[in-house]
Amino acid sequence: MNFHRAPNTFVGQVYLKVANLERSLAFYQKVIGFKVLQQAERKAVLTTDGKTALLTIEQPENVIPKQPRTTGLYHFALLLPERSDLANALNHLINTGYPLQGASDHLVSEAIYLADPDGNGIEIYADRPSSKWNWKNSEVIMATEPLNAENLLSEGIGEWKGLPAGTIMGHIHLHVSDLSKAEEFYCKALGFNVVSRYGSHALFISTGSYHHHIGLNTWNGVGAPAPLENSVGLKCFNLVYPSLEARAGAIERLEAIGAPVEEENGSCLTEDPSGNRIRLDI
């Protein structure tokens, strides 16, 4: 099943603020393997297939470094089409010598973790077939076990040519200030369902029984403040709704709970209770 198309709601694009556009472009092209779709003086739109925007990086005026212990991005996650693609990506990262922050087997997926030069978190992963995921009481069973890198690398089948064209934005994981308020916002208003809870500190949510389209945590502290507007980090991300009617329903529910909603260039913008900005698209 494809969890990133209608009738599901999913993350399509992520927009980041960086300290130095030239440095970030070099990283995202040479280390991660993106291609440039569009570029301006202070902004670049990145793609893997030459037509679909996945990541936009922008250098704000008077930018300041990423602020610690704030809400915002924990990581964005690039979902590769095949396990062999993840093997090739891991082999490439080993060859570049770029430092990894972790590598995990989550049962539903295998993942490697790193950060860009500004400290923005990145996950690169491949899903196991959903038929092999296990569920208990409407929650998907996940874990964080060591990745069997030797076994994964044995699946590599070719030289590194950048991210494959079928790469998509698999999910986003956010720091929030209050988990219960975040759950009300994302589930009651935006239409997601809880698929996994990790005590009182983290929550995974999705549509269509995916293992998660959005992760939420309070690991930067309950009550953590939003970063300053010109801080490196997350600018916003978008959610892709399957229809005008589905998006209209989300907007109506957002207004019912008192969440901000505004229109901008044909898109709708909202903001979660922790200050994370979201575009609602179709």
Q: pLDDT tens digits, residue range 222-277?
A: 999 999 999 999 999 999 999 999 999 999 999 999 999 999 887 899 999 999 99
Averaged pLDDT for residues 150-178: 95
Phi, psi at 109, each rounded to 5°: -160, 165
Res 1: pLDDT: 61
Residues with Cβ within 8 Å of residue 160, at least 6 apart in sequence? 33, 88, 89, 91, 92, 95
**What residues contact 5, with CB distance under 8 A and at least 6 apart?**
none
- Does the reported pTM lie above 0.85? yes
Superfamily assignment of 10-281 in CATH? 2,3-Dihydroxybiphenyl 1,2-Dioxygenase, domain 1 (3.10.180.10)
Q: How far apart are CA 215 and CA 145, in angstroms?
A: 18
Give pLDDT, residue 159. Answer: 83
- CA 275/CA 263 separation, integer angstroms: 17
| pLDDT tens, position by position, 105-137 | 999 999 999 999 999 999 999 999 999 999 999
Q: Is-contact 42 246, C-beta < 8 A? A: no
Q: What is the mean pLDDT of the chain?
A: 97
Query: What tens digit of pLDDT does each residue of 7-46 get?
Result: 999 999 999 999 999 999 999 999 999 999 999 999 999 9
Contact 78, 122 (CB under 8 A): yes
Q: Give the pLDDT score at 156.
A: 84
- Residue 92 makes CB contacts below 8 A (sequence gap 6+) with 33, 160
Domain boundaries, the chain: 10-281
